[in-house]
Structure 1
């Protein structure tokens, strides 16, 4: 038995720790790495959220639960459902689920990649990472996200920009407190 004592034995935990340090991608530039990593992570979250929401409403409708007493913010999710899904088990339903999930994944990924890239770029350009970078990146990302929705209006774009700026600024200011 000639074993090489120089071989490393790594556990899954070691690999995951290394992944946190190096990231998922090495595209040659930290900006590209951040955008790609943020896109992939958020797109996955968006896909899970879209499928979970559809599964919930399908289960609620199948059980005959009356949703008229639900708060408007919960029942409003029914409006965001995939329009071609009808609870049938056919190819059109599966195709609608895949298309809808893909669209939502793309929206989440683009928003996260855009925000991450903007905050990194502003940090590099200004030389400091502060709430102003977060506010600007949040506003631009919010406006861009509003543009991806169906039937967007000027008011909706402005509201999304303000909301994006407010949320990202609050997140930046609260970092380290909790």
Structure 2
């Protein structure tokens, strides 16, 4: 059974976290889940704080709603990111090369899987697969430019 390790460092504004789950596939997947999940939870928090400040009052119901929303958004987007990163890594290992085609296939598969989890409409699943592939491919091309 693989061992799990968690380590981190804080220096300046950058936070670096390293996770060792015993296999590179799991490492990449968990890393993607945690990074994007934390971003999604932070976005949900910022949005709710804005609405609370705009309204001018806070209640325990607001706090509870915000915490639930943070968990839901963090878990959803973290899962989507983990699936994408895991598929990208898996496709890279199977194909033996790292290029934009891996991102396109992983994005399309992730879009389809996320859509399948939410609804059963075949057209929507196909559209989300195309969208996921397009976004992932565009992101990969942008990474090559920078």
The structure with the largest strand share of the pair is 2
Determine which of 113, 117, 138 is the counterpart of 2:107.
138
Report what 1:172 is aligned to: 140
Cα distance, 1:155 vs structure 2: 3.2
Cα distance, 1:152 vs structure 2: 6.4
Cα distance, 1:55 vs structure 2: 2.3
Spell out structure 1 runs of 4+ moving beyond 6 A. Answer: none
Cα distance, 1:148 vs structure 2: 4.6
Report what 1:119 is aligned to: 88
Aligned length: 137
CA distance in structure 2 between the aligned counterparts of 1:42 and 1:35, rounded to whole angstroms: 11
Q: Which runs of 5+ in 1 are unaligned?
A: 1-10, 64-86
Q: How does 1:79-94 map to 2 (within 5 A)?
A: 89-90=59-60, 92-94=61-63
CA distance in structure 1 between the aligned counterparts of 2:137 and 2:74, rounded to whole angstroms: 24
The structure with the largest helix share of the pair is 2
TM-score when scaled to structure 2? 0.78
TM-score when scaled to structure 1? 0.66
Higher radius of gyration, 1 or 2: 1
